[in-house]
C-alpha cells in the first residue's frame, strides 16, 4: 500500500519538556486521518513538524516515501489550514488562492483557470472578487481549503479548523469537509479535540494524550473497543467508577467501588489481578432502563449487572433523553432512555431499574494521573 | 435640558481644549503668517496686498533650489530611514523574545532623553577634524593627516536618519506587532520564498505603518533646523535656514512668512503625491495604524 505520510518515532523536546513523545503512524493514500486529543497534548506541535515549522528532536517524517526533514517549509508539498485560517487580509479571494500558484511561477491564464476551477469545486464560484472581510465564517473556511487544494498537495493538514465556528455551522462544515475530501481524493490529516468531529469524518483516528498515541483505529473500534482507560474516557460519554478487583476469572472480573457497588466487568487489560486499583467504564447507551424497583437491591452475578435507584435529573436534548439516577448506595449513574416506548416519559423521583451486560462494562488498570472524566 | 443636550454639552466641553489648541496654536498663527506673506512694502510703513513675495521667490533660483534640495534630501532620508528602521522594527515585533522586546524599545527611546542640540554636538565631537573618529583613524595609521568629516551632505543625511529613525520604528513595530505570525507561516507553507513572503505579505500588511512612519519622518526632516545647520555648516542650503535668515538676519518678515507657507505647501504636496503613488489614503492610514 502507498503511504502519503509516515512518521517514525517522532519526538519533540522543548528544553526538558517533551511535547511529542515517540509518535509513529502511516496514512494510506487518499484517506481521512484524525488525531484526537485534549488541549496541550502536542497535536499542533506534531503538525508543525510535518509542515516544517519545527524540527523533530528525534525520528523521521516521510512524505510519499521520502524523508522531508532536510526540506524547508516552502519546499514541502503539504499544505496547512491554520486554526484561524490565516487568509491574507490585504488580498481578495482570488489573490489569496492565486498566491501559491504565483509562487510556483505559473502563467497568468493558467492561474486564472485553476482559481476559477477550485472556487467552483468548493461551491463559491462567485466569490472571486470579494474581500476576505466580506466572507462569512463558513465561506472563509472553504476559501482557506481552496487556497491549499489548488496547489494539489500530497497531504492537507488541518489544525482544528472548525474551532472558531458556531455550533450549527460546525455541524454543517463537518459534512462539507468530508464531502470535499472525497471529492478531491486528497489525504487529509485532521487535528481536533472534539471527538464527534473525529468520529464523524475520519477513516482512522489516533487518540493522543501527553505526547503519545494511546490507540489508533477506525472510529467504531475506538468507540466500542477502547484499549486504554484514557480512550474509554475520552471518546464518547461514559460512566466511570474507580474501584478494586475482588476476584477474576478468564471471562471477567468482579470489581467493588468505594461506595460498595459491585460490578462484573469485561477484562480489557490482561495484566490486572486481584486487589488492583481499576476504573470501570460503562456507556450510558448500553444501560437498559425499566420502570419500577423490580426485585430491588443490586445483582452482579452471571452476565448482567442490575441496580435500582431514583431519577434525579432528566436531560432532554431532542434526539435522546439522558437520565441521572442516584442508586441506593449513593452513586450517580447516567443512562440513555430509548426513543419512545413506555420509559420515555419517566420523570424526576421515579424509581427505575438499570441493567447492563458484563460486556458493556470495560475495566482498565488505573494509571497514575490519567485524567479521564 | 434633554439627555441629548447634556451629551452634546459634555462632548463640547471635552473637545473645547483641543479645539482651542488647534485654533490658537495652529490655525491663527498660520492665518497670520499667510496674511503677512501677502503684504508688500511700497514705502517705509506703507503696505499693500499682493503676490510680490511669491514672485520674488520664483525669480530667485537659489531660493527654490534650496527648497527642492531640502525636499529631495528629505525624501532620501525617509527612504534610508525605512531601510534602516524596517529590519529593526521587524526584529522587535516578530523575532525578539518578550523581555528583549521591551529592552529594545527602551533603547530606541533613549536618544529622545537628550535634546536635539546636545545630540548634534555629540556628532560634532565624533566627526570634526580634531574629533574622535579622525584621531582614531590617524592613530591606527589608516590616514596620514586629520580628516574633516563634518560639513558635507552625507554627514547631514546620516545625522538626520539617526535623529528620526525612531519615528519610523515605533509605528512600524506596532503595525507588525498586530500581524498574526500564522500569516507569515502560511506564506511559507503555500510555497513562498523569504523574499516573496516579505514582499507580498509582510510589507503590504505593514503598509499603513510604513506610510504613517514615512509621513512623520518626512515632515520632521523637512522642517528640521539644528541637525542640518550644525552638521552641514553654513553651506548646508537647508530651507529652514533661509526662513531663519529672512526673519532674523534680514528682518524681512514678509519674505520669511512666504517661505514658511511655501514650505508647508510643498511638503504637503509631496506627502499627497506619496500617498497617491502608494495607493493609500490618509484616513485609512490613521485608522489602520491605530487598530
Ligand atoms: N515553542 C514552544 N516552546 C515551549 N513549549 C512549547 C512550544 N510549543 C508548544 N509547547 C508546549 O507543548 C505542549 C503541546 O503544545 P501544542 O500546541 O502542540 O498542543 P495542542 O495539542 O495543539 O493543544 P491545543 O488543542 O490547545 O491547540 C504544550 O504544553 C505547550 O506548552
Ligand atoms: Mg493546537
If one residue of A15, A37, A40 were mutated to test the ligand 1 pocket, choosing by the most ligand atoms within 8 A of its CB, it would be: A40
| CATH number, domain A237-365 | 2.40.50.100
Q: Is B23 a member of any domain?
A: no
Write the residue in A90, A147, A151 that is nearest to B205 by C-beta.
A90
B130: domain CATH number? Answer: 1.10.3720.10
The torsion angle over the Cα atoms of residues A184, A186, A191 and A195, rounded to 10 degrees, is 60
Q: Is B19 a member of any domain?
A: no
CA distance A116 to A98: 10
Task: For chain B, say whether A82 makes contact (Cβ under 8 Å).
Answer: yes
pLDDT tens digits for chain B (291 residues)?
577 888 888 888 888 888 888 888 888 988 998 988 888 888 777 888 888 889 888 898 988 899 999 999 999 999 999 999 999 999 999 998 888 988 888 888 887 788 888 888 888 888 888 888 888 888 888 888 888 888 888 889 999 998 899 899 999 999 999 999 999 999 999 999 999 999 999 999 999 899 999 999 999 999 999 889 888 887 788 999 888 988 888 888 888 999 999 999 999 999 999 888 887 776 666 555 444
Contact B123, B159 (CB under 8 A): yes
Task: For chain A, say whether B190 makes contact (Cβ under 8 Å).
Answer: yes
CA distance A50 to A60: 10
pLDDT at A255: 84
CA of A281 to the centre of ligand 2 (A): 28
Which of chain B's residues have a Cβ under 8 Å away from the Cβ of A148?
190
What are the domain boundaries of chain A?
Answer: 3-230, 237-365
SS3 A210: coil
Contact criterion met (CB < 8 Å) for B192 and A104: no
Q: Is B5 a member of any domain?
A: no
Cβ of A42 less than 6 Å from ligand 1: yes
Number of domains in chain B: 1
Contact criterion met (CB < 8 Å) for B186 and A86: yes
Which of chain A's residues have a Cβ under 8 Å away from the Cβ of B196?
103
- Domain residues for B174? 60-290
pLDDT at B290: 43
CA of A159 to the centre of ligand 2 (A): 7
Q: Is B48 a member of any domain?
A: no
Residue nearest to atom 8 of ligand 1 (CA): A45
CA distance A210 to A39: 10
Task: For chain A, say whether B178 makes contact (Cβ under 8 Å).
Answer: no
| Rg from Cα positions in chain A | 25
CA of B143 to the centre of ligand 1 (A): 58
The CA-based angle B44-B45-B49, given to 5 degrees, is 105
pLDDT at A209: 94
| CATH number, domain A3-230 | 3.40.50.300
Residue nearest to atom 28 of ligand 1 (CA): A40
pLDDT tens digits for chain A (373 residues)?
689 999 999 999 999 999 999 999 999 999 999 999 999 999 999 999 999 999 999 999 999 999 999 999 999 999 999 988 999 999 999 999 999 999 999 999 999 999 999 999 888 989 889 999 999 888 999 999 999 999 999 999 999 988 878 888 888 888 988 988 998 899 999 999 998 899 999 999 999 999 999 999 999 999 988 988 899 889 988 888 888 888 877 767 788 887 777 777 777 666 777 778 888 889 998 888 888 776 655 666 667 788 888 899 888 887 788 889 988 777 888 998 877 777 777 888 888 888 888 888 888 887 654 333 3
CA distance A150 to A139: 16
Q: What is the pTM of this model?
A: 0.82
Residue nearest to atom 19 of ligand 1 (CA): A40
pLDDT at A372: 37
CA distance B289 to A295: 75
CA distance A352 to A308: 6
The enclosing H or E element of A4 equals strand A3-14
**Nearest CA of chain A to the CA of B87: how many Å?**
21
Shared fold status for A3-230 and A237-365:
no
Angstrom distances, CA of residue B162 to CA of A143, A261, B80, B87, B158: 45, 79, 10, 15, 6
Q: Is B262 a member of any domain?
A: yes
The torsion angle over the Cα atoms of residues A240, A243, A246 and A247, rounded to 10 degrees, is 50
Amino acid at each position: 500500500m502507498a503511504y502519503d505520510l509516515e512518521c517514525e518515532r517522532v519526538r519533540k523536546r522543548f528544553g526538558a519538556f517533551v511535547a511529542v513523545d515517540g509518535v509513529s503512524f502511516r496514512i494510506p493514500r487518499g484517506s481521512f486521518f484524525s488525531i484526537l486529543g485534549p488541549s496541550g497534548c502536542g497535536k499542533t506541535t506534531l503538525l508543525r513538524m510535518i509542515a516544517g515549522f519545527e524540527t523533530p528532536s528525534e525520528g523521521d517524517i516521510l512524505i510519499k516515501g521520502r524523508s522531508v526533514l532536510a526540506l524547508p517549509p516552502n519546499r514541502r508539498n503539504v499544505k496547512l489550514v491554520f486554526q484561524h485560517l490565516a487568509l491574507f487580509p490585504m488580498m481578495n479571494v482570488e489573490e489569496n488562492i492565486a498566491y501559491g500558484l504565483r509562487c510556483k511561477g505559473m502563467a497568468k491564464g493558467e492561474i486564472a483557470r485553476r482559481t476559477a476551477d477550485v472556487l467552483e469545486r468548493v461551491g463559491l464560484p462567485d466569490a472571486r472578487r470579494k474581500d476576505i472581510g466580506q466572507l462569512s465564517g463558513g465561506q472563509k473556511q472553504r476559501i482557506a481549503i481552496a487556497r491549499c487544494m489548488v496547489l494539489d498537495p500530497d497531504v492537507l493538514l488541518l489544525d482544528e479548523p472548525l474551532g472558531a465556528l458556531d455550533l450549527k455551522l460546525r455541524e454543517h462544515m463537518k459534512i462539507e469537509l468530508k464531502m470535499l475530501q472525497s471529492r478531491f481524493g486528497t489525504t487529509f490529516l485532521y487535528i481536533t479535540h472534539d471527538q464527534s468531529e473525529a468520529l464523524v469524518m475520519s477513516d482512522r483516528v489516533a487518540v493522543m494524550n501527553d505526547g503519545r498515541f494511546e490507540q489508533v483505529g477506525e472510529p467504531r473500534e475506538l468507540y466500542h473497543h477502547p484499549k486504554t482507560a484514557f480512550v474509554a474516557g475520552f471518546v464518547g460519554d461514559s460512566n466511570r467508577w474507580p474501584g478494586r478487583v475482588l476476584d477474576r476469572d478468564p471471562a471477567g472480573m468482579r470489581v467493588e467501588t468505594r461506595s460498595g457497588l459491585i460490578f462484573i466487568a469485561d477484562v480489557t487489560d490482561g495484566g490486572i489481578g486481584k486487589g488492583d486499583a481499576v476504573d470501570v467504564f460503562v456507556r450510558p447507551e448500553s444501560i437498559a432502563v425499566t420502570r419500577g424497583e423490580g426485585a430491588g437491591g443490586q445483582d452482579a452475578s452471571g452476565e448482567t449487572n442490575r441496580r435500582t435507584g431514583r431519577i434525579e435529573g432528566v436531560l432532554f436534548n431532542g434526539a435522546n433523553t439522558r437520565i441521572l439516577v442516584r442508586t441506593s448506595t449513593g452513586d450517580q449513574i447516567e443512562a440513555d432512555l430509548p426513543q419512545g416506548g413506555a420509559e420515555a416519559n419517566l420523570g424526576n423521583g421515579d424509581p427505575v431499574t438499570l441493567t447492563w451486560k458484563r460486556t458493556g462494562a470495560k475495566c482498565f488498570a488505573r494509571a497514575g494521573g490519567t485524567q479521564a472524566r | 435640558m434633554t439627555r441629548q443636550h447634556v451629551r452634546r454639552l459634555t462632548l463640547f466641553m471635552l473637545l473645547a481644549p483641543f479645539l482651542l489648541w488647534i485654533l490658537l496654536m495652529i490655525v491663527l498663527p498660520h492665518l497670520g503668517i499667510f496674511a503677512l506673506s501677502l503684504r508688500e512694502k511700497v514705502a517705509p510703513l506703507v503696505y499693500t496686498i499682493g503676490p510680490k513675495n511669491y514672485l520674488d521667490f520664483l525669480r530667485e533660483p537659489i531660493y527654490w533650489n534650496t527648497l527642492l534640495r531640502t525636499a529631495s534630501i528629505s525624501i532620501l532620508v525617509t527612504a534610508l530611514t525605512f531601510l534602516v528602521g524596517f529590519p529593526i522594527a521587524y526584529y522587535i515585533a516578530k523575532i525578539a523574545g518578550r523581555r528583549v522586546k521591551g529592552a529594545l524599545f527602551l533603547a530606541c527611546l533613549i536618544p529622545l532623553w537628550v535634546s536635539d542640540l546636545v545630540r548634534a554636538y555629540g556628532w560634532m565631537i565624533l566627526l570634526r577634524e580634531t574629533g574622535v573618529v579622525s584621531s582614531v583613524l590617524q592613530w591606527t595609521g589608516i590616514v596620514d593627516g586629520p580628516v574633516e568629516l563634518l560639513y558635507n551632505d552625507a554627514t547631514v543625511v546620516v545625522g538626520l536618519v539617526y535623529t528620526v529613525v525612531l519615528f519610523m520604528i515605533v509605528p512600524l513595530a506596532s503595525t507588525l506587532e498586530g500581524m498574526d505570525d500564522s500569516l507569515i507561516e502560511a506564506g511559507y507553507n503555500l510555497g513562498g520564498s523569504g523574499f516573496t513572503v516579505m514582499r507580498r505579505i509582510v510589507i503590504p500588511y505593514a503598509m499603513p505603518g510604513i506610510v504613517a512612519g514615512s509621513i512623520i519622518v518626512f515632515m520632521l526632516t523637512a522642517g528640521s533646523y539644528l541637525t542640518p545647520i550644525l552638521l552641514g555648516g553654513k553651506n548646508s542650503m537647508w530651507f529652514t535656514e533661509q526662513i531663519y535668515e529672512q526673519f532674523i538676519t534680514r528682518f524681512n518678515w514678509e519674505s520669511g512668512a512666504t517661505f514658511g507657507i511655501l514650505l508647508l505647501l510643498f511638503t504637503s504636496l509631496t506627502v499627497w503625491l506619496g500617498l497617491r503613488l502608494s495607493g493609500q489614503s490618509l484616513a485609512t492610514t490613521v485608522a489602520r495604524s491605530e487598530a
